[in-house]
């Protein structure tokens, strides 16, 4: 124990042999205490090592620019390039000597570079600060994460649209308030999530567009006196342009917040689908079956097949939302420009990105795995007077009744059927005419689930032809 911090794990108890020696005057209990806890609270290397690729990429672009404008020599640049390549290989191989005393990934790599190439390594940090460096690395990281998540979202959309095409005409009950409302098709239901995911992708793409400006060259906060070429660095890192204000460049994390907000909304969507899958899998519903691949057994109840993956997707939403709220809270009220508070930006973003990636992958797996119980869905689609609206609509169309009146008459017919314990279609014509004498036998043509579905031809409606067309259109767009 080096610091008086409770034993929470290996990171906290990491020995700190590189600390200055204990204070001789007041050694004893306090010994190296303050220095050790300072290192523990200050060091970010345990998590920001995840930025190593971005850090090396940024340094390569910076060094190339320094050489081009004549701030460092071509030989120095070549040495830096070779040194960084060797460091990348060390990190890949797991042999890089990460040191907490060097605080973060930036100083770890820079110190190692100097160790390897000497003098030239010390010139790399000319005209740059860790403040613009970390902002650049982090933007690059978030940009990469966005690209990966967008691809995963497209994959999930493809899985859903493929399923939707197959079940474009298979009925299921549509719900409001989780009460049977009107029949829809299973394909239509799945395509609702495709639309949501398309907007989720759009939000990520939007965030990417705005984050794609380069902070490097803002230096600590005020810019630099060296004749740097910020446009060159921005282009080398595939940014659209350098950021226009040096204070803004080092001090804002809105790009990370936008990412988290988009991630939180996407996770919220996934949690709804997860919840539906959980409901659909339950014994009273039996709408879908998940295979062994996406369920677990119970250690006590042999009959159980638990939808754990769906439950965990539902739960991941909590931590992703938490990441957004956490970082918003860190950033709130910070004066310009950089403050160390901002070092707390990374863990929530790394965690949220990983959680969302896992959730998307698990959901795509479940969507491909699940088997809709079409006969059961068909039966449930017709239960609960699901075609009552179709009856009311027929009264309007055929008898020219005002909708309110049609609604009232239908309500009375539902009450009759309910009292008799039958469906609307099982009432006799005489029973119907007792409520509304002008009703004819034609009414029975609208009371079936299939007729109800086929009639919903309005744009965006659940008619099977609509659904098949929409699914096809998505599959083409996603191809």
State the catalytic residues.
177, 298
Q: Which helix (H) or strand (E) holds 350?
A: helix 346-369
SS3 180: strand
Compute the least distance from the CB of residue 348 to ligand ARG, in Å.
13
Q: Which is nearer to ligand ARG, 48 or 436 (CB)?
A: 48
Q: Which is nearer to ligand ARG, 294 or 338 (CB)?
A: 338
Compute the least distance from the CB of residue 109 to ligand ARG, in Å.
12
Residues 328/257, Cβ–Cβ less than 8 Å: yes
Cα distances (Å, whole numbers) of residue 127 to 53, 61, 82, 121, 314: 21, 13, 21, 14, 47
**DSSP for 403-462?**
HHHHHHHHHHHHHHHHHHT--GGGS-HHHHHHH-TT--GGGGGGSSHHHHHHH--STT--
Compute the least distance from the CB of residue 247 to ligand ARG, in Å.
14
Q: Which is nearer to ligand ARG, 332 or 340 (CB)?
A: 340
SS3 58: helix
Closest Cα partner for 466 from 26, 165, 35?
165
Under the rule (CB under 6 A), what is the footprint of ligand ARG? 44, 48, 104, 130-131, 134, 338, 340, 342-343
Compute the least distance from the CB of residue 131 to ligand ARG, in Å.
5
Compute the least distance from the CB of residue 54 to ligand ARG, in Å.
12
Q: Which is nearer to ligand ARG, 39 or 387 (CB)?
A: 39
Cα distances (Å, whole numbers) of residue 236 to 36, 233, 242, 264, 271: 39, 5, 11, 31, 39
Q: Which is nearer to ligand ARG, 103 or 258 (CB)?
A: 103
Compute the least distance from the CB of residue 343 to ligand ARG, in Å.
4
Q: Which is nearer to ligand ARG, 251 or 462 (CB)?
A: 251
Residues 101/189, Cβ–Cβ less than 8 Å: no
**DSSP for 273-325?**
HHHHHHHHHSTTT--EE--GGG-B--SS-TT--B-HHHHHHHHHHHHHHHHHH
């Amino acid at each position: 124990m080096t610091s008086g911090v409770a034993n929470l794990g290996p990171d906290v108890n990491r020995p700190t042999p590189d600390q200055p020696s204990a204070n001789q005057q007041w050694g004893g209990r306090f010994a190296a205490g303050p220095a050790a806890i300072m290192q523990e609270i200050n060091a970010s290397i345990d998590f920001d090592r995840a930025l190593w690729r971005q850090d090396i990429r940024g340094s390569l672009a910076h060094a190339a620019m320094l050489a081009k404008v004549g701030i460092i020599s071509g030989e120095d640049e070549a040495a830096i390039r070779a040194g960084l390549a060797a460091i990348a290989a060390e990190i890949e191989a797991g042999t890089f000597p990460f040191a907490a005393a060097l605080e973060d990934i930036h100083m770890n790599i820079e110190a190692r570079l100097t160790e390897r190439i000497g003098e030239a390594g010390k010139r790399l940090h000319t005209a740059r600060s860790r403040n613009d460096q970390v902002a650049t690395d982090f933007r690059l990281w978030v940009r990469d994460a966005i690209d990966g998540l967008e691809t995963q979202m497209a994959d999930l959309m493809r899985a859903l649209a493929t399923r939707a095409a197959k079940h474009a005409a298979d009925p299921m009950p549509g719900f409001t308030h989780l009460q049977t409302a009107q029949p829809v098709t299973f394909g239509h239901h799945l395509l609702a999530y495709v639309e949501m995911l398309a907007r989720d992708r759009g939000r990520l793409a939007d965030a990417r567009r705005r984050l794609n400006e380069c902070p490097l060259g803002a230096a600590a906060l005020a810019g630099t006196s060296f004749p740097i070429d910020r446009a060159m660095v921005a282009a080398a890192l595939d940014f659209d342009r350098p950021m226009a204000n040096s204070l803004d460049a080092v001090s804002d994390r809105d790009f990370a917040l936008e990412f988290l907000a988009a991630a939180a909304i996407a996770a919220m969507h996934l949690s709804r689908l997860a919840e539906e899958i959980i409901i659909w899998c339950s014994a009273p519903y039996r709408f879908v079956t998940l295979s062994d691949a996406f369920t677990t057994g119970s250690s006590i109840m042999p009959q159980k097949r638990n939808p754990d993956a769906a439950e965990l997707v539902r739960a991941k939403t909590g931590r992703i939302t938490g990441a957004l709220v956490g970082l918003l809270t860190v950033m709130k009220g910070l004066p310009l420009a950089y403050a160390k508070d901002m070092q707390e930006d990374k863990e929530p973003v790394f965690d949220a990105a990983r959680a969302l990636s896992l959730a998307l992958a698990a959901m795509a797996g479940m969507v491909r795995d699940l088997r809709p119980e079409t006969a059961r869905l068909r039966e449930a689609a017709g239960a609960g007077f699901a075609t009552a609206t179709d009856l009311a609509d027929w009264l309007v169309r055929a008898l020219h009744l005002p909708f309110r009146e049609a609604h009232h008459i239908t309500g009375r017919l539902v009450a009759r059927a309910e009292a008799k314990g039958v469906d609307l279609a099982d009432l006799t014509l005489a029973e119907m005419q007792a409520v509304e004498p002008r009703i004819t036998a034609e009414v029975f043509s609208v009371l079936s689930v299939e007729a109800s579905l086929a009639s919903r031809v309005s744009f965006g409606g659940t008619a099977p032809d609509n659904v098949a067309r929409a699914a096809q259109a998505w599959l083409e767009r996603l191809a």
